[in-house]
């Protein structure tokens, strides 16, 4: 395949949008579940409630948004050809919704058949996704550090899936596993090997683009993904069921790798040539500060073991990582991607004869800023709820409200798209008649 073919291979707008429009409502469910469970949820990271909330966010919110974004991103940024994206999305999207719903219900009811059903559905949906997307990323004639990060991210997704399926099967009574150790490895691959790796690759592309920053230094962009992969491989020694003392060093090395990326991103953003700020920049920076806070907290937990052994330590890191880092980055990206894709598709539909609305006319700026403030407020409330569990109901409601507002803002964007599409088509049929 010749690289020039990659110019016009962006998928139909419905492919990413069906994932994007679904994602926030998993966040709403997570917030409501936290509000419903209240103090009990934050007793430990192993309560069924917190496992359900976590998976609503990672296998619901994050997985939906990231799977949709990658389908859009591969042709545009990596020159890859995804096989039948419309069919893939039509199959994978509903299966993932169902799989996540079953898994969450399984955690809440501890019903073994539900764990098995969820594991089969995830294996089917993500297996197909990894196969198709992985093939596109292997075959693309494109080059560069973004592409390598995307390839590694898909490897990370595959490892997370395999370990997740094994865990669900174990909870479903199919076989026995060292549940705690396998979960540690599963979570690290999911957050570090899939989600953060994807953020690396996307950042290399969009951070300079959105704010006119200098590019990431080539050596750093090249080194970060394999460094993270190396750390995760060492971390996976725990799969044997034995956790040696040196794993503490691996833990810190993983957080330090993420920290280096955060410092580099903040430094580049400080050097931006574009002086005008926007919510995407603020959300991205918020996420980078959360990543640095994770590094600092992790270091503290290792240096002061009595603190690290507290039940709240992993919850603190989890809140910083999932709502703090990933929900922030994803929200910021959605606020850029949806208005731009709206404009691009409308522009191509209209040709040069009609003027589609500009990006800021798709979702009102005030609504984006308001939602962003509520999101940061909700993250702060959830962090406070870790040491003060009586706040967890309020924190859950705030987070649910923030995600609902995000979902509504995206619906507003899609309605703007449909409205102007209708106008363009009406004008065209008017010309013809």
Partner 1 sequence: MTNLTQPLHDHHKHCDELFAAAEADAHGNKWDSCEDALTRFREELEAHFCTEEQVLFPAFETATGMAGGPTQMMRFEHAQMRDLIGQLSAALAARDRDAFAGTAETLLIMMQQHNMKEENILYPMCDRSLPSDTVDVAGALKQRLEAECLV
Residues in 116-135 at the binding interface with partner 1, rule: CB under 8 A = none
Residues in 199-218 at the binding interface with partner 1, rule: CB under 8 A = 205, 208-210, 212
402 scored as a contact of partner 1 (CB under 8 A): no
Q: Residue 88 CB, nearest distance to partner 1 (Å)?
A: 23
Among the listed ranges 4-12, 52-60, 64-72, 367-375, the one in contact with partner 1 (CB under 8 A) is 4-12
Other residues' Cβ atoms within 10 Å of the Cβ of residue 390: 11
Give, in degrees to the nearest 5, the angle at Cα 323 between 320 and 329: 100
72 scored as a contact of partner 1 (CB under 8 A): no
Residue reference for tokens 């903040």:
266
Q: Phi/psi zone of residue 110: left (φ > 0), alpha (ψ -120 to 50 degrees), beta?
A: left
Q: Residue 131 CB, nearest distance to partner 1 (Å)?
A: 26
Report how far residue 260's alpha carbon sits from residue 164's, in angstroms, rounded to the nearest whole number: 28
Q: Are 59 and 123 in contact (CB under 8 A)?
A: no
Among the listed ranges 40-48, 148-156, 244-252, 269-277, the one in contact with partner 1 (CB under 8 A) is 269-277
Rg (CA), the chain: 21
Report how far residue 96's alpha carbon sits from residue 102's, in angstroms, rounded to the nearest whole number: 10
In this chain, which of 14, 347, 369, 412 binds partner 1, going by CB under 8 A?
347
Q: Are 206 and 283 in contact (CB under 8 A)?
A: no
Q: Are 361 and 420 in contact (CB under 8 A)?
A: no
In this chain, which of 139, 242, 274, 373 binds partner 1, going by CB under 8 A?
274
Report how far residue 45's alpha carbon sits from residue 288's, in angstroms, rounded to the nearest whole number: 24
331 scored as a contact of partner 1 (CB under 8 A): no
139 scored as a contact of partner 1 (CB under 8 A): no
114 scored as a contact of partner 1 (CB under 8 A): no
Any idea what DSSP says for residue 244? -
412 scored as a contact of partner 1 (CB under 8 A): no
81 scored as a contact of partner 1 (CB under 8 A): no
Q: Which two tokens stand for residue 177?
A: 């596993």
Nearer of residues 5 and 179 to partner 1, judged by Cβ = 5
366 scored as a contact of partner 1 (CB under 8 A): no
Residues at the interface with partner 1 (CB under 8 A): 2-4, 6-8, 76-77, 79, 142-144, 205, 208-210, 212, 273-276, 278, 336, 339-340, 343-344, 347, 352, 355, 357-361
């Amino acid at each position: 395949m010749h690289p020039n073919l990659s110019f016009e291979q962006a998928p139909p707008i419905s492919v990413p949008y069906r994932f994007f429009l679904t994602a926030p409502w998993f966040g709403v469910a997570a917030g409501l579940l936290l509000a419903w469970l209240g103090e009990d949820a934050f007793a430990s990271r192993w309560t069924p409630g917190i496992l359900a909330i976590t998976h609503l966010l990672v296998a619901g919110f994050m997985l939906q948004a990231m799977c949709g974004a990658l389908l859009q991103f591969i042709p545009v940024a990596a020159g890859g050809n995804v096989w039948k994206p419309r069919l893939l999305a039509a199959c994978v999207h509903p299966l993932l919704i169902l799989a996540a719903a079953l898994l969450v219900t399984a955690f809440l009811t501890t019903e073994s058949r539900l764990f098995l059903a969820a594991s089969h559905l995830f294996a089917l949906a993500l297996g197909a996704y990894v196969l198709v997307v992985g093939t596109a990323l292997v075959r693309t004639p494109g080059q560069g550090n973004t592409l390598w990060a995307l390839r590694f991210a898909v490897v990370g997704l595959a490892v997370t899936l395999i370990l997740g399926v094994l865990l669900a099967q174990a909870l479903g009574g199919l076989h026995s596993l060292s549940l705690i150790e396998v979960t540690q490895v599963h979570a690290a691959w999911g957050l570090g090997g899939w989600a953060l790796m994807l953020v690396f690759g996307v950042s290399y592309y969009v951070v300079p683009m959105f704010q006119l920053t200098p590019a990431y230094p080539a050596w750093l962009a090249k080194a970060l993904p394999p460094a993270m992969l190396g750390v995760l491989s060492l971390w996976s020694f725990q799969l044997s069921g034995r956790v040696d003392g040196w794993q503490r060093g691996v833990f810190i090395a993983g957080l330090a790798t993420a920290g280096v990326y955060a410092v580099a991103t903040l430094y580049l953003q400080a050097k931006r040539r574009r002086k005008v700020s926007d919510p995407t920049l603020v959300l991205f920076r918020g996420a980078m500060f959360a990543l640095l806070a994770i590094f600092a907290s992790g270091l503290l937990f290792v240096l002061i073991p009595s603190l690290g052994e507290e039940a709240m330590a992993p919850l603190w890191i989890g809140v910083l990582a999932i709502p703090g880092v990933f929900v922030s980055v994803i929200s910021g990206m959605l606020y850029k991607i949806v208005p731009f894709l709206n404009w691009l598709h409308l522009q191509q539909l209209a040709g040069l004869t009609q003027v589609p609305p500009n990006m800021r006319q798709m979702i009102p700026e005030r609504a984006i800023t308001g939602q962003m403030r509520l999101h940061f407020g909700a993250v702060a409330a959830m962090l406070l709820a870790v040491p003060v569990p009586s706040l967890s109901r309020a924190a859950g409601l705030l987070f649910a409200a923030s995600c609902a507002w995000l979902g509504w803002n995206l619906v507003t964007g899609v309605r703007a798209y449909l409205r102007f599409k209708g106008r363009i088509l009406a004008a065209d049929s008017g010309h013809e008649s």
